A and B are shown apart, each in its own frame.
Chain A
Amino acid sequence: MATPAVVSARRTRPSLLTLGAWVVGALLIAFLALPFVALVLRITPRELVARLSSPAVIEALRLSVLTSLAATVTVALLGVPVAWLLATRDFPGKRVFEVLVDLPMVLPPTVAGFALLMAFGRAGLAGRALGAFGLSLPFTTAGVIVAQVFMAVPFMVGPARASFSSLDPKLLDAAATLGARETFTFFRVALPLAIPGIVAGIAMSASRALGEFGATITFAGNLPGSTQTMPLAVYVALQSDLDAAVALSVLLLLMAFGLLLGLRAAPVGSFWGSRARAAAR
């Protein structure tokens, strides 16, 4: 149904629809860009550098990089197998499982943090068992990572699953008919071909972990050096030191922008893809 409409639109004049879409697009771009521009304009580059070299900022930055890196690695290790399962297998309760995986994306982060407390807090369902082993997550850096992982999972599974789903079954069949075992096919064919989606998932979950606020402050608390990541530092600074808040926000903005832009510029997808296709042949 969509295809004939597009064709007929092309045949008439270079259309009003296109023009309208451009206008809407321009409005949306302005709406999205304006707050960021306003933020960056609040501070001179020199002031930004001076602010960012303060020990408090470096501490928050170090903690943010450390935790979101750990969270991203964890999410990738857990998310890729799950994405592959969801893309290639049917099993009872799959729908529920899918909803569970997506849930953190729509849940208010504070609710997620509260639920994490109920589960892994000292008095929580699983937390009591952890406590028996002397493990306690709230108020610790590990707790920050747990909150970030929880919130980032859907951002990893989504794109990776889409990649696995879009693989040409013929390639996988070819590998199978040539006698390749499933494990071999997965690692030499499916995984390399799905790399674009996996990399997208990694970048998006890293960005999500880096920006995570609500679940972190609810579950892990807020203490400089152990749980106060950059978003928390921004929030605290907003109430006491506005310039510091601006500097931290600009830094976060640049990091997130860099991550997402880097993802689009990176040639990983085609590189791995061609190697995998070669391997399949």
Chain B
Amino acid sequence: MNRFSACAVVGLGLLAAPFATPSTAGTASAAKQTLQVFAAASLSEAFRELAHGLEAARPGLTVRISLAGTQQLVAQLEQGAVADVLASADERWMSYAKAQGLVSGEPVTFARNRLVVIVPKSNPARIGKLQDLSRGGVKIVIASDAVPVGHYSRTVFRNLSRAEGFPSDFATRALRNVVSEEENVKSVVSKVQLGEADAALVYRSDVTPAVARYVRLFEIPDSANVIASYPIALLKDGPAHDAAKAFIDLVLSADGQRVLEQHGLMPVAANAP
């Protein structure tokens, strides 16, 4: 092998090295540590704030939060992604992760969330009440069935079909109005925020102040609503075990629960501030 090709091979190796082994850099020195949190997209704002809190309390610690639809996070973990904490938007995917041997210990429910209907401020389809969602031609966007919120949305439609004042074929007609099944709740929100969809089902916590400027919100009666439970758990293969425990403790603490509540989530009763 001559110099040119040797250089090329070494060059390729150097290029690839930092990407191939990201975790060794984090564990090499004890002072600097990285905590990798996989969290449901609906937790974005609350978890970012909690992460900053933990970073401030533990110098040298960097908290990296990967936000996506829970189903996508679990799929990544199954394919060998390394993380320390999983915060899921439903129990279905958490039990699945547990059955796959990804989780260490018992998952703990740390928050609840409820669904709401949002429409653009301009309200192009003139939605005035939930019943209007089944009117022909209304463009509804929900998440796909694999996404926790998408699964809940379908349940809400079915519940409303049985509710007083709603036609019994409400669910069928509302589902016929669905024009797109998004892959996480934030994409659902953006379709309404941009005014492309007439209505969407999202979590209450997704209507952040930034979003609220663009949308109008309709509450779903408790009797027909789904209350989502958010479990959190340590992951078996995570290298930053202590920091992961500290993060979960923070989430469950009175302070943590207050942060969650400020971001539109419902604190769990036992730890409620």
Contacts and interface: CB of A to CB of B under 8 A. Distances in A.
Interface of A: 16-17, 19-21, 23-24, 27, 117, 121-123, 138-139, 217, 220-224, 227, 235-236, 238-240, 242
Interface residues of B: mostly helix, strand, loop or mixed? mixed
B17 interface: no
Contacts of A19: 1-2, 5
A217 B196 CA distance: 13
A117 B5 CA distance: 47
B23 interface: no
Interface string B218-262: 000000000000000000000000000000000000000000000
B112 interface: no
Interface in B169-215: 178-183, 191, 194-197
B108 interface: no
Interface in B7-50: 8-9, 12
Contacts of A27: 9, 12
B196 A222 contact: no
B9 A117 contact: no
Given A138-B196, A238-B75, A240-B71, A23 B1 contact: yes
10 contacts: A19-B2, A24-B5, A24-B9, A117-B196, A123-B122, A139-B139, A139-B180, A217-B183, A222-B144, A239-B71
A231 B8 CA distance: 34
B75 A20 contact: no
A61 to B, nearest CB: 19
Contacts of A17: 2, 4
A223 B146 CA distance: 14
Contacts of A121: 194-196
Given A239-B71, A239-B146, A240-B146, A23 B180 contact: no
Given A121-B194, A139-B196, A223 B179 contact: yes
A217 B179 CA distance: 12
B124 interface: yes
B267 interface: no
Nearest to A117: B194
Interface string B63-106: 00000010110010000000000000000000000000000000
B144 to A, nearest CB: 6
A144 B25 CA distance: 43
Contacts, number: 76
A215 B168 CA distance: 38
Interface of B: 1-2, 4-6, 8-9, 12, 69, 71-72, 75, 122, 124, 139, 141, 144, 146, 178-183, 191, 194-197
Contacts of A139: 139, 179-180, 196-197
Contacts of B191: 221
A20 B1 contact: yes
Contacts of B141: 221
A187 B179 CA distance: 44
Contacts of A24: 5, 8-9
A20 B6 CA distance: 8
Point out which of B75, B139, B196, B197 has the most chain A C-beta atoms below 10 A from its C-beta: B196
Contacts of B12: 27
Contacts of B144: 222, 236
A99 to B, nearest CB: 27
Contact of B180 (A20, A21, A117, A222): A222
A117 B182 CA distance: 16
Contact of B194 (A123, A223, A238): A123
Given A139-B139, A223-B181, 17 more contacts: A16-B2, A19-B5, A20-B2, A20-B4, A20-B6, A23-B1, A121-B194, A121-B195, A122-B124, A123-B122, A123-B196, A220-B180, A221-B180, A221-B191, A222-B180, A224-B181, A240-B71
Nearest to A123: B195
A238 to B, nearest CB: 6
Contacts of A117: 194, 196
Given A17-B2, A239-B71, A223 B180 contact: yes
A9 B197 CA distance: 64
Given A21-B5, A24-B8, A239-B146, A222 B194 contact: no
Contacts of B124: 122
B142 to A, nearest CB: 10
B2 to A, nearest CB: 4
A86 to B, nearest CB: 34
B203 to A, nearest CB: 19
Contacts of A224: 181
